[in-house]
């Protein structure tokens, strides 16, 4: 903080009136007596005037780090000094807030923040939806300076009545990030997102669908989506990867699929592609014969359009997630498979790999997980019990020799005699 000082401002008197031409006029006087004399003189001319008094005051001023001058007037010098000291302390401790900066509404600031972020297309869409649908209706019109810890806690409680805990926590994280950014830009002194009680996220144990259920889902999905179901169940591809798959990414001769992008949005009827979920999600997946045959039949029946997408609506347009979700749920309900989520096909694929003895690293690579830890946290309960394998391994190696030695060992020496022990 530079250029700070306190200066005395003397009292002033201004005589305000409207002249015969209808124009506003101001006369300045050095004392009250002079001002009253001017009013009397104007009255003699048939003009009504009034006196506006500005009391003597102390003017405290400083220039902030951005070069902007700020000033405030006080009746007493000690009050002016106290205010100036407080601004200096706030600057040193990092809690200084630009005067009136907190008057901007949460929505205005959040939209400015959102526009400045470098998001993946899919993440940008999620943030925009969360703020627009779940946050702005509640606190969007409130100025930043009026948002308190209670405000945030009430928002969380309200969301918790409608949405799943995971959705509430993610939405809160966006709000918290916006307010933290406001602190860093000196819009508010401190964030109210401290000590907020969030709902507990209980992670459900993955219970893969049976092969019969997957086959039933493929049948219920209809001809134009059947191959998509088999593809997801036979490769573990995510929804965006499946519905963003183009013909050039399917290598029938090499029996593999290239996953290097996904469908993230549809704009003006055209697909918008983005990178997969993580860099580890860029991968090559073995193409099973059964899935390859299903894809070949699908391509023959539903030739890809100009964008090369394998799976489109019956009108040949890219799938919008809302439309796909509505049709998927309706078809699953009609087949009495309520609650069957498309993502469960990915879990089914993982369970197949584990059942047939694939290692953790292989499952991780096929699914495109960021780490083996992520794979284990999700599917560790599906691997065979290690205790049984340990016992079988030891028995296989040492069992034969121990059995032979046991046969040559007298029973009287192998089995203690409790009564003899007591007699001794």
Q: What is the pLDDT of residue 419?
A: 47
Of 96, 130, 156, which residue constitutes the final position of a domain? 96
- pLDDT of 422 strictly over 50: no
- DSSP assignment letter at 246: B
Q: Total structural domains in the chain? A: 3
Residue 367 located in a structural domain: yes
Find the domain containing 24 and state its range: 2-96
Q: List, for residues 250-294, the tens digit of each pLDDT value.
A: 999 999 999 999 998 888 889 999 899 889 999 999 999 999 999
- pLDDT of 66 strictly over 70: no
Lowest mean pLDDT among 46-50, 94-98, 375-379: 94-98
> Both 149 and 172 in a single domain?
yes
> Both 281 and 143 in a single domain?
no
- pLDDT of 234 strictly over 80: yes
The CATH number of the domain where 270 resides is what? 1.10.443.10
Cβ proximity of 147 and 103 under 8 Å: no
Mean pLDDT across the stretch 63-69?
71
> Both 290 and 373 in a single domain?
yes
Q: What is the pLDDT of residue 424?
A: 39
- pLDDT of 409 strictly over 60: no
Residue 390 located in a structural domain: no
Q: Please report, for residues 15, 44, 69, the alpha-carbon distance to residue 23 in angstroms, rounded to integers and kept in the order given.
A: 14, 19, 33
Q: List, for residues 159-205, the tens digit of each pLDDT value.
A: 999 999 999 999 999 999 999 999 888 888 889 999 999 999 988 89
Of 50, 74, 96, which residue constitutes the final position of a domain? 96
Q: What is the pLDDT of residue 231?
A: 97
More confident residue, 99 or 147: 147
Mean pLDDT across the stretch 299-328?
93
Residue 387 located in a structural domain: no
> Both 225 and 310 in a single domain?
yes
> Both 92 and 108 in a single domain?
no
> Both 80 and 63 in a single domain?
yes
- pLDDT of 413 strictly over 60: no
More confident residue, 53 or 284: 284
Q: What is the pLDDT of residue 404?
A: 61
Q: What is the pLDDT of residue 387?
A: 67
- The winner for highest mean pLDDT among 12-21, 61-70, 213-222, 404-413 is 213-222
- Residues forming a β-bridge with 250: 257
- When pLDDT is cut at 50, 70 and 90, the band that residue 386 belongs to is low
> Both 238 and 333 in a single domain?
yes
- pLDDT of 55 strictly over 80: no
Residue 388 located in a structural domain: no
Mean pLDDT across the stretch 9-20?
86
> Both 119 and 158 in a single domain?
yes
Residue 42 located in a structural domain: yes
> Both 245 and 109 in a single domain?
no
The CATH number of the domain where 153 resides is what? 1.10.150.130
> Both 328 and 273 in a single domain?
yes
Q: What is the mean pLDDT of the chain?
A: 87
* Long-range pairs for 265-274: beta carbons < 8 A, 24 or more residues apart: 265/121, 265/122, 265/125, 266/317, 266/318, 266/319, 266/320, 269/317, 269/318, 270/307, 270/318, 271/244, 271/307, 271/309, 271/318, 272/121, 273/244, 274/120, 274/121, 274/122
Of 96, 111, 133, which residue constitutes the final position of a domain? 96
Mean pLDDT across the stretch 365-374?
94
- pLDDT exceeding 70 applies to what percent of the chain? 88
> Both 35 and 138 in a single domain?
no
- pLDDT exceeding 90 applies to what percent of the chain? 60
Cβ proximity of 143 and 102 under 8 Å: yes
Residue 195 located in a structural domain: no
First to last CA, the chain: 94
Residue 304 located in a structural domain: yes
| CA-based nearest residue to 215, from 241, 237, 233 | 233
> Both 275 and 233 in a single domain?
yes
């Amino acid at each position: 903080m530079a250029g700070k000082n306190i200066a005395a401002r003397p009292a002033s008197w201004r005589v305000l009136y409207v002249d015969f031409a209808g124009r506003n006029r101001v006369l300045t006087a050095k004392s009250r007596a002079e001002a009253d004399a001017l009013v009397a003189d104007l009255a003699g001319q048939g003009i009504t005037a009034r006196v506006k008094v500005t009391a003597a005051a102390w003017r405290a001023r400083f220039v902030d780090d951005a070069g902007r001058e700020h000033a405030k007037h006080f009746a007493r010098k000690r009050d002016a000094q106290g205010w100036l000291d407080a601004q200096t302390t706030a600057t040193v401790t990092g809690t200084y807030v630009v005067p009136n900066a907190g008057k901007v509404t949460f929505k205005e600031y959040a939209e400015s923040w959102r526009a400045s972020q470098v998001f993946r297309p899919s993440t940008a869409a999620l943030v925009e939806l969360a703020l627009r649908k779940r946050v702005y209706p509640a606190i969007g019109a409130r100025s930043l300076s009026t948002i308190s810890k209670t405000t945030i806690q009430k928002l969380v409680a309200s969301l918790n009545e409608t949405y799943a805990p995971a959705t509430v926590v993610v939405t809160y994280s966006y709000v918290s990030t916006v307010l933290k950014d406001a602190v860093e830009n000196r819009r508010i002194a401190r964030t109210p997102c401290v000590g907020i009680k969030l709902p507990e996220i209980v992670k459900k144990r993955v219970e893969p669908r049976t092969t019969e259920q997957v086959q039933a889902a493929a049948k219920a999905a209809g001809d134009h989506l059947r191959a998509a179901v088999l593809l997801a169940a036979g490769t573990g591809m995510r929804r965006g990867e499946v519905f963003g798959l183009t013909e050039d990414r399917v290598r029938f001769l090499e029996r593999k699929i290239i996953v290097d992008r996904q469908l993230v949005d549809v704009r003006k009827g055209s697909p918008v592609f983005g990178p997969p979920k993580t860099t580890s999600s860029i991968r090559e997946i073995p193409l099973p014969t059964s899935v390859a045959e299903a894809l070949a039949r699908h391509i023959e029946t539903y030739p890809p359009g100009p964008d090369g997408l394998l799976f489109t609506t019956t009108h040949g347009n890219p799938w919008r997630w809302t439309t796909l979700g509505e049709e998927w749920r309706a078809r699953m309900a009609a087949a009495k498979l309520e609650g069957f989520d498309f993502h469960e096909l990915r879990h089914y694929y993982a369970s197949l790999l584990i059942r047939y003895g694939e290692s953790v690293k292989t499952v991780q690579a096929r699914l495109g997980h960021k780490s083996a830890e992520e794979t284990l946290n999700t599917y560790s309960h599906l691997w065979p019990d290690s205790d049984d394998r340990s016992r079988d391994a030891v028995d296989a190696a040492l069992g034969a020799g121990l059995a032979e030695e046991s046969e040559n060992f007298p029973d009287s020496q192998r089995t203690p005699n409790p009564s003899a022990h007591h007699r001794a």
